[in-house]
Amino acid sequence: MVRIASLVAAFVLAIATVLAGTGPLILQAQEGAAFITETMLPASNTKYPQLAVDANGVYVSAVDGIPDNGNANLWIKGEEAPAFPAPLVLGTVIGGFAQDWYQTAVATAPTGEVYVLWIDQGAKTIKIRRREPNGVWNPATFEIMNGHIFAVEPALAVRTNGQVVAAWRDDKNIRFAFSNDRGATWSPVGTITAVEAYKSQTALAAGPNGELAITFTRDTPRPLHVMVALWNGSSFNPPVDVNGSASAVFADASVSFSPDPAPNTRIAVAFRGADDGIFFAEKLVSDFGGPWSTIQLINGKGDGRVSIDYDQRGNLHITWIRQGSSRSVNQLFYAVRPVGQGFLPVVGTPTVAPVFNAWGDARVGTRAYMHVAHEFFQGTVPRPRYALFRAPGESFGSRPIIENDVAVVGGESRVSVNVTFPDLSTSNLPDQVRWRWGAPPTDAENDSGGWQPFNPTGPASVLTVPIPAALRTDAGCVERELFTQLRRSANNLTDQPRSDKVVIDVGVLGSAVVANPFSRLRTSPFTAVTLADLIGEGGASDGHPDYTRVPAVFVELRSLGDCSGLQNFALAPSTATLTSVSNLAISGNRFANVLPYPGTVAEGPMPVILRMRDALGNPMMLERTLTYDVTAPTLNSGTLQVQAIDGAPSIIVNLQFTSLNVTDNFYPGRGFWGVWLANSRTPVANPAADPTLVWVPVEAPGDGNSFTIVWSLASGLPEAQLTAGTYYVYARALDGAGNPSATALPVATISLDQVTLPQVFVPVVSR
């Protein structure tokens, strides 16, 4: 124990020396990092375990059973559970190769999936399985690649858009493939060119804004250096040398992204010197192409991969195995840099033994933890071992949650949102807050007017945040992001800005039509109301949208993408009477029907007030005035001629109306909206009273009293009557409400020697 204590003391001295100039400390630690526990996993003869963590548990993957045929296993436990149960067997591998060449990778997705891949050297394949967010494993085993000669050192990561990326080393080449359908199908295998890879671990990491990076050790050109490359969506950009012009040898790296939103996202890489030292380098992703500045964390010789990982709050965790006087007395160590601080004193596991190949993943759950899987040799048999480290104290601050994490807020009177902070405890609480919509708050730019008093007593305390007027619009279902930042003024304890998103819906996105119930504006399908005065009352089935001859209106309501959905509407003759009428439900975000007018009517203006509401109660108002007109127009004079059209089928003709003179009590201008037309093969003595005529309304073009309408002599006639001979055409005037004149124009005729009909030609399609 004397030797161990002196070693840790030496590490502390090294950190204090190297990091003394890292900047002002926002938070002075009340306690240091801590080793919590270590435990063996129920397995044997297992090498290169990998580990990943999410809100649902800790996952360790590895292959066991080699040199015989083996299993690809996954062990799962809760964050603070003391031990792992027996593993899940996800697949099998064909034995016959060295144990080192059967490896796995595990990764978690932001949307809750868990992915595990494994290399089957005997089958020369890389396979993958997926666990769904509900915890059920998809039964399918998918194939990432088949036929590559020697795939080893795999890595796996999932981007924020769900794209899954796998990478591995094949001799001296770094290969990769990606899937855009959750691992079901994979791209052709790609290769990182320009440099050759050394036989050490490949590592991937995904960032908070869609970033993804790979790190590996360069073999040529020498010396061995750590390389990092960013993903561009389908391949990796040219890798960058983290070690620059240094002549020293570096290897066994890992990479991680900070949780900060762009452009403040940082990328960090940790690695070991071949002869001495554990190192890391960190910079903004936006400055990725510039030179890297390397910091030596501690002295002493490392053994294998150095794991680095930011947790969700921005604490930076590093774990590594330090080689003792021989590899049989190795020891696992851990260091953490809390947000706003320098690195705290190093801690290690109490076990000094032949331990190798550590793989860590950090996450803030109940506390801020670093979970580490590694190998522990019992004699010549490697077994998977797990260690748990904890960052200091209660983590200060919390993410905000808007209105209990609903997707949409709004309503007619909505001017603010209630925010809670679920990660707060009942101690170590803030006393100030500031906020900003759309971007992290700063001293120069915020929506709160600077730091405001806020004295929560725990996670249930509510902060009321006003919604800026610019966001209280009906511009669409746009997610608005609210950033908050908590502070305790007593010791300048300041949390990083954190955010939550919500759609603010304070308007109705919809369209409304109130029109003549006979107008062609009526859309299909709709269920028409059967009113007695709509049947056989002698008017036309079309007219101007602003007129009606019955006390009814056509109403059509549609959602144009309203965030909460259309819910109901009310129809009234005035705004004052809206409160006294019943709401009618809207189903499926659409309504179309003919409705009785909700008030008393007399000829003349007929005002209609429509109020439509969405599910949040937001109103949309429409005010329309139709003209109620039951008086028929008077046709005073005019002429009608039927004229053949050159080159057209004989059944299609022009109707030439000349000097049509009509008077009407309401329709302005020329006094008529259109004409009511009917065809006959025999003369009709009294067209207005003849029940055999089929009348067709046609809107008159232009605004003059003379005009031409293209007309089909087949309209209203049975097919048997479409023969050569004389055709009679009758016309009556229509006002805007579809009331027809009592008299018709003098009949117009045309004689056809033969009947030709329009033809429609379609292409011949053959198979």
Q: Mind giving me the DSSP string for 731-744? A: EEEE-TT-PBPSS-
Q: Which two tokens stand for residue 509?
A: 């996105």
Strand pairing report for 70-77 and 57-64: antiparallel
Q: State how far the alpha carbon of 365 is from the alpha carbons of 33, 324, 373, 395, 412, in Å.
A: 16, 33, 18, 10, 38
pLDDT tens sequence across 344-376: 999 999 999 999 999 999 987 667 899 999 999
Of residues 292, 371, 363, the one with CA closest to residue 55? 363
Tell me what pLDDT residue 529 has.
Answer: 38
* 336, 307 Cβ separation under 8 angstroms: no
Does 2.120.10.10 match the CATH number of domain 34-390? yes
Please say whether the beta carbons of 135 and 168 come within 8 A.
Answer: no
pTM over 0.75: no
Determine contact, residues 335/33, Cβ cutoff 8 Å.
Answer: yes
Alpha-carbon Rg for the chain, nearest whole angstrom, is 39
- Name the token pair of 320: 């590594």
Q: Kindly report the CATH class assigned to 634-752.
A: mainly beta
Cα-based distances in Å from 601 to 553, 556, 682: 12, 22, 42
Q: Please state the φ and ψ torsions of residue 724, each to the nearest 5 degrees.
A: -65, 150
Tokens of 740: 């027809």
Bridge partners of 511, per DSSP, are 558
The pLDDT value given to residue 96: 78
Residue 716: other Cβ atoms inside 10 A: 16
Query: CB 250: neighbour CB atoms within 10 A?
Result: 24
CA distance 431 to 396: 12
Picking from 436, 441, 496, the residue whose alpha carbon sits closest to that of residue 467 is: 436
* Separation of alpha carbons 629 and 551, rounded Å: 10
Q: Compute the Cα dihedral for 464, 466, 471, 476 and give only its sign.
A: positive
Fold identical between 401-505 and 510-628?
A: yes
Distance CA(309)–CA(258), nearest Å, equals 8
Task: Kindly list the domain boundaries of the chain, sorted by start residue.
Answer: 34-390, 401-505, 510-628, 634-752
The CATH number of the structural domain formed by 401-505 is 2.60.40
| Weakly modelled stretches of the chain, pLDDT under 50 | 1-30, 527-536
Q: Are 203 and 232 in contact (CB under 8 A)?
A: no
The sheet carrying 88-93 orders its strands as 47-54, 57-64, 70-77, 88-93
Q: Which CATH topology does 510-628 take?
A: Immunoglobulin-like (2.60.40)
Q: Which of 88, 120, 83 minimizes the C-alpha distance to 104?
A: 120
DSSP characters for 328-382? GGBEEEEEEE-TTS-PPPPEE-S--BSEEEEEEEEEESSSEEEEEEEEEEETTEE
